[in-house]
């Protein structure tokens, strides 16, 4: 139960910070989602730093990783997790899985958004 609460707390904080950063930037830069882009890249950098420090010298406990990487970065941006997973596939040399996962995630994600929007217009 403690682990779920840590993810919940981190996710909530990450989501609020994402909103605070991306909302004003996306408002001023309407042709490019600069706020979202910055948040996604910062999230990737942050999750890399957290996991890198943890792997290098056990800097973070399992609970701290849940709070910061899974919770905060997951709430701040799911793109960080996506990038981390792709990095893992590349490190393992699984180029086919990397190509499929990346291509399908982006393509199917965009299709799913379009489908959701279309479904809301049915009624």
The per-residue pLDDT for range 3-16, each reduced to its tens digit, is: 999 999 999 999 99
Q: Could you tell me the maximum CA-CA distance found in the chain, to the nearest angstrom?
A: 56
The answer to pTM > 0.85 is no
Continuous H helices in 1-61: 2-28, 34-57
Taking each continuous run of H as one helix and of E as one strand, the counts in the chain are: 6, 0
The per-residue pLDDT for range 17-69, each reduced to its tens digit, is: 999 999 999 888 877 788 988 999 999 999 999 988 988 888 899 999 999 99
Is 77 annotated as ligand-binding?
yes
- Tell which residue, 75, 54, 77, has the closest CA to residue 65: 54
Integer Rg of the chain from CA: 17
Cβ(44)–Cβ(79) below 8 Å: yes
SS3 content of the chain, % helix, strand, coil (to 5): 85, 0, 15
Is 74 annotated as ligand-binding?
yes
Cβ(105)–Cβ(81) below 8 Å: no
């Amino acid at each position: 139960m403690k682990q779920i609460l840590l993810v919940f707390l981190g996710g909530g904080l990450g989501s609020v910070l994402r909103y605070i950063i991306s909302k004003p930037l996306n408002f001023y830069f309407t042709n490019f989602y600069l706020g979202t882009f910055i948040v996604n890249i910062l999230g990737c950098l942050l999750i890399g730093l957290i996991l890198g420090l943890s792997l290098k010298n056990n800097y973070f406990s399992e609970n701290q990783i849940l709070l910061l990487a899974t919770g905060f970065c997951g709430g701040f941006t799911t793109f960080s997790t996506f990038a981390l997973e792709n990095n893992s596939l590349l490190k393992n040399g699984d180029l086919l899985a990397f190509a499929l996962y990346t291509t399908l995630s982006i393509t199917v994600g965009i299709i799913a958004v379009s489908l959701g929007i279309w479904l809301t217009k049915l009624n």
